[in-house]
Amino acid sequence: MSFLKNVLNVLTDKRELKEPKIYKPFNENSSIITALTRLSEGKDPSVDLKKAQNHLKLFTIGQTGEMNVLFELQHSMLPLVILHDVYIEYKDYSAQLDFVVLTHKFIMIIEVKKLFGNIQVTDKGEFQRIITKNNRVVNKEGMYSPINQVERHVSIIEKLLKEEGAIENCPVKYAVTFANPKTILQVSKNAPANIQSNVLRYDQIKHFIKNELEKKSPVFMSDQQLYGIADTILKFSKEKVFNQEDYLIEKPQISPQVESATSPSERMNNPKEDTLKAALTEFRLTRSRESNVKPYHIFTNKILDSMLEKKPLTTEQLLEIEGIGPKRVEEFGKEIVSIIQCHSTGNFSAKEPPTSVKAAVQPKKQSPEQVRSALTQLRTTRSKELNVKPYYVFTNNTLEMILEKKPVTMDELLKIDGIGPKKAEEFGQDIINILQRK
């Protein structure tokens, strides 16, 4: 048996891989980009077009950066097995991996960043993005450390592969690469060693991997082992689900009066139901602003459709709708029933809800100091969540500009100095929610 095992090992212990092999290919038709394109080009009045268009731009920019990195990997002439865009779900963990690169000596996770502006890393290892115009710095802001992000990804993939028996002592390395060709990367000589050695421009990726391959390693895996590792990763890889509810409109874009001006083919078959839908949507929006949550946390579109279909006239009937439990009924069941009752009797339109309902959903006005306090609290809370300095969320100068301009749309917020697409994506909706509560 021992002889046969040795023969089998000789037959399978091959290292014929001499150049890059794409094992999970680049998908130009990303499901998320496809979905965002559909939303952006559609005419669905329930969709926040500005948010969808902004996110489409960000994802497209990110995809361009990953294409730059893929080009460098494909033309490296190194023995690599490459997996692109891997979304892992394993036990209670999840990770979005831009690239997983397998070699005979190690596994490497590559995190790709394509940002506008230059990147500077301080002595303390803090990442800063610097925007210049005419050789003058016009904006300097902190950013969440991509090292923290990729180290978390390494821990997850290492745990998965070891627990699944795919590796024992194979090193899992990482790199953070900036994929904008115009970006100038400046890393302080006093920055932590792991940052100095693992942060690079995308055009340095071949040289970086080649140097790592020349180092000693506790393993020298066969081609079969590499493909086995790749298959294990893909076993736990899933298509990231696109949640359209994240793009619910913040306020109705069309009113019943506007709808009446459209052609009959574009109108709803039941105008009365249309006004009821508008009233319930407006109620949901107002309550979400009061609670500082997304509208779908009040009730989802599916629940809304069920209410329009069944039109519950009592709280007991409301409880029969899937997704409506005792807690929701206790919080705002009477208001919902009141809206439906009034529409059933034709007492009011979507534009003019009854006084009792208006009083129940009317948002409380805030003083300027309350707005300032709420924005400051948001900055503190989010900075603690991300383990970054508060100025990463927004600086004091940006705070003053927000208080002065009072932006209530994403477009208006993007005009504020210090708020770029990345900041708008991360914190924009929270900022707008606070300002709209005024």
Query: What does the pLDDT read at residue 354?
Result: 46
Residue 2's SS3 state is: helix
- Taken as a whole, the chain contains a residue count of 438
With cut-offs at 50, 70 and 90, classify the pLDDT of residue 382.
Answer: confident
Distance CA 98, CA 291 (A): 35
All domains in the chain, ordered by first residue: 10-235 (no CATH), 248-361 (1.10.150.80), 368-436 (1.10.150.80)
pLDDT digits (tens, 9 = 90+) for 390-429: 877 888 888 888 888 888 888 788 888 888 877 877 888 8
**Spatial separation of the C-alpha atoms in residues 390 and 424, rounded to whole Å:** 16
CA–CA separation, 253 and 272 (whole Å): 18
Q: DSSP string of 210-275?
A: HHHHTS--S----HHHHHHHHHHHHHTB-PPPP-GGGGB-SS-SS-HHHHHTS-GGGS-S-HHHHH
Mean pLDDT of 228-249: 85
- In terms of pLDDT, which residue wins out, 249 or 204? 204
Q: What is the mean pLDDT of the chain?
A: 81
Say yes or no to pLDDT of 258 above 60. Answer: no
pLDDT for residue 206: 96
Given pLDDT bands bounded at 50, 70 and 90, which one contains residue 270? low
- pLDDT over 60 at 364, yes or no: no
Task: Compare 190 and 332 and report the one with higher pLDDT.
Answer: 190
Alpha-carbon span 352 to 257, nearest angstrom: 13
Q: Which residue has the higher pLDDT, 225 or 343?
A: 225
More confident residue, 204 or 281: 204
Query: Tell me, what DSSP letter sits at residue 248?
Result: B
Are 44 and 191 in contact by the 8 Å Cβ rule? The answer is no
Number of Cβ within 10 Å of residue 77's Cβ equals 11
Q: How far apart are the C-alpha atoms of 350 and 172, rounded to whole Å?
A: 58
User: Which residues have a Cβ under 8 Å from the Cβ of 93 and sit 6 or more positions away?
Assistant: 156, 159, 160
pLDDT at 159 over 90: yes
- Provide the pLDDT confidence category of residue 345 given band limits of 50, 70 and 90: low
For residue 346, what is the DSSP state? T
Span 208-217, average pLDDT: 96
Residue 204 is predicted with a pLDDT of 95
The confidence band for 157, taking pLDDT boundaries of 50, 70 and 90, is very high
Q: What's the whole-model pTM score?
A: 0.55
- Between the two ends of the chain, the Cα-to-Cα distance in Å is 79
User: Quick one: tokens of 143?
Assistant: 């950013």
User: What is the torsional sign of CA 124, 127, 129, 135?
Assistant: positive
The pLDDT tens digits for 347-358 are: 544 444 444 444
Output DSSP code: residue 47. B
Predicted confidence band at 360 (pLDDT cuts at 50, 70, 90)?
Answer: very low
CA distances from 229 to 151, 170, 264, 357 (A): 19, 11, 59, 59
Provide mean pLDDT across the span 101-124. Answer: 93
Q: Please, which residues bridge with residue 178 across strands?
A: 113, 201
